[in-house]
């Protein structure tokens, strides 16, 4: 992966594989609940327009999670979790939009500290339960996803999605 650091005036941006992550991109948090649609929104800047971006996740119960993205109430894209890992592409006002969500997994040899770094919103009790559950496991468990919404390869919003 090619990573470059670019300085623009008073802020820095990191470019990874063609996507630009500006230092001032807002991070929202969504706690996905089985069989329920959870949504969070934030104002983002697209071109010179202020747009309400809303990301929704419907966590499947032993099935795929469904993701949808709206700008100003208009559905821009939707898909399932397997599609978000490489990225779901769409267009909004003739501009390329990508929703990409990287899975965050806990391995069997994870410590409580490892889990806390990955999912800081988990209580100590929940962290310890997860570590105990994972002890000796050879299969990792996905506990969260870090999503990036990009317009024309520029990140406009990030979302940390936690799973119950």
Q: Is 22 left (phi over 0), alpha (psi -120 to 50) or beta?
A: beta
DSSP-assigned beta bridge partners for residue 77: 69
Per-residue pLDDT, 11: 29
Per-residue pLDDT, 123: 86
Per-residue pLDDT, 152: 96
Per-residue pLDDT, 21: 42
Per-residue pLDDT, 1: 34
Per-residue pLDDT, 19: 39
Per-residue pLDDT, 163: 83
Per-residue pLDDT, 40: 97
Per-residue pLDDT, 15: 34
Q: CA 113 to CA 148: how far, in whole Å?
A: 25
Mean pLDDT by 10 residues, the chain (164 residues): 30 35 76 91 94 94 90 97 96 96 91 87 87 89 92 96 83
Per-residue pLDDT, 121: 74
């Amino acid at each position: 992966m090619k990573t470059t650091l670019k300085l623009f005036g008073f802020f820095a941006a990191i470019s990874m594989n063609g996507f630009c992550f500006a230092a001032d991109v807002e991070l929202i948090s969504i706690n996905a609940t089985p069989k329920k649609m959870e949504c969070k929104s934030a104002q983002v800047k697209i071109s010179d327009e202020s747009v309400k971006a809303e990301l929704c996740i419907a966590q499947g119960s032993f099935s795929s999670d469904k993701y949808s993205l709206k700008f100003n109430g208009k559905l821009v894209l939707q898909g399932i979790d397997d599609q978000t890992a490489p990225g779901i592409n769409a267009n909004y006002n003739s501009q390329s939009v990508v929703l990409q969500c990287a899975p965050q997994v806990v391995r069997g040899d994870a410590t409580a500290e490892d889990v806390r770094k990955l999912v800081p919103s988990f209580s100590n009790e929940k962290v310890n339960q997860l570590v105990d559950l994972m002890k000796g496991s050879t299969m990792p468990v996905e506990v969260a996803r870090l999503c990036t919404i990009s317009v024309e390869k520029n990140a406009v919003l990030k979302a940390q999605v936690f799973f119950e």
